[in-house]
Chain A
Amino acid sequence: DVKVTQSSRYLVKRTGEKVFLECVQDMDHENMFWYRQDPGLGLRLIYFSYDVKMKEKGDIPEGYSVSREKKERFSLILESASTNQTSMYLCASRLEGASTEAFFGQGTRLTVV
């Protein structure tokens, strides 16, 4: 059974903290993605990676960074958490190719107080 696993379902952090969200996939996929999901805005791409140590900015990269040291792991980092980063964060992975299916983790609901 294919799987994308996010390290936490729920997180509460304080403003200014450095936050790490971890994502691991067991399907040997080249591409991995981080999205945030907000009501009325759908899924917005933060960063993606198409290979180890490679990363590209998505639509809303400000305030975030990423790390991909191994093919199976893609980490999202909030350098200094702010209240406007309170959201649901979704990780996904897929094989290269326009028609391939993306597999999603269950999401991390992050609250910044």
Chain B
Amino acid sequence: GNSVTQMEGPVTLSEEAFLTINCTYTATGYPSLFWYVQYPGEGLQLLLKATKADDKGSNKGFEATYRKETTSFHLEKGSVQVSDSAVYFCALSAMSAGANNLFFGTGTRLTVIP
């Protein structure tokens, strides 16, 4: 089946610290991988994506590399800011019940303190 396992939170970091949020997946076939972010009081929005092995997605200083050999898509940022405080969801897109569905991890809440 298709599933995503991501690092449990919450994660609290000081401003300018290095961030890693781990994500591993199980999928049939060759899924596309995504990171979505949910800021307080808002819906989810796409942060970055990668569609094939060894692709690196990047946006707003965040990056993640699609690692087929370890079935992972870890999110990293070199220097976090207070404005990065949010919940981060790893997701994969794969065929299920005749359509391309998105399967989400449980989310990791990040709090960045000044």
**Of all chain B residues, which has the CB nearest A59?**
B103
A36 CB, min distance to chain B CBs, angstroms: 11
Distance of A56 Cα from B98 Cα, bound (Å): 9
- Docked complex Cα distance between A21 and B107 (Å): 24
Q: Is B99's CB under 8 angstroms from A31's CB?
A: yes
**Do A101 and B44 touch across chains, with their CB atoms under 8 A apart?**
no
Contact B100–A31 (Cβ < 8 Å): yes
Stretch from A11-19, A42-50, A70-78, A79-87 at the B interface: A42-50
Binding-face segment, B11-19, B45-53, B73-81: B45-53
Per the CB 8 Å criterion, the residue count for chain B at the interface is 27
With a cutoff of 8 Å between Cβ atoms, the chain A residues found around residue B114 in the complex are none
A92 to B100, CA, bound (A): 13
B26 within 8 A of A: no
- Inter-chain contacts of A57 with B (CB < 8 A): 97
Q: Which of B31, B46, B107 contacts A42 (CB 8 A)?
A: B107
Contact of A101 among B31, B46, B97 (CB under 8 A): B46
Q: How far is the CA of A106 from the CA of B101 in the complex (A)?
A: 20
Kindly report which residue of chain A lies nearest to residue B51, judged by CB atoms. Answer: A99
Contact between A40 and B98, CB atoms less than 8 A apart: no
Say yes or no: B32 contacts A102, CB within 8 Å: no
Chain A nearest Cβ from B89, distance in angstroms: 7
Task: Report if B106 contacts A (CB, 8 A).
Answer: yes
Q: Chain A: which residue is nearest B33 at the CB level?
A: A99
- Partner among A98, A104, A106 whose Cβ is within 8 Å of the Cβ of B100: A98
Could you give, for residues 19-39 of chain B, a 1 whenever the CB lies within 8 Å of some chain A CB and a 0 otherwise? 000000000000110101000
**In the bound complex, do residue B106 and residue A40 qualify as a contact, i.e. CB atoms below 8 Å apart?**
yes
Task: Pull 9 A–B residue pairs with CB atoms less than 8 Å apart, ordered by A.
Answer: A31-B99, A42-B105, A42-B107, A43-B89, A94-B102, A99-B93, A101-B49, A104-B43, A105-B43
Given contacts A56-B97, A98-B31, A102-B46, 15 further A-B contacts (CB under 8 A): A31-B100, A42-B89, A43-B104, A50-B98, A50-B99, A57-B97, A58-B101, A90-B43, A98-B94, A99-B49, A99-B93, A100-B93, A100-B100, A102-B36, A104-B36
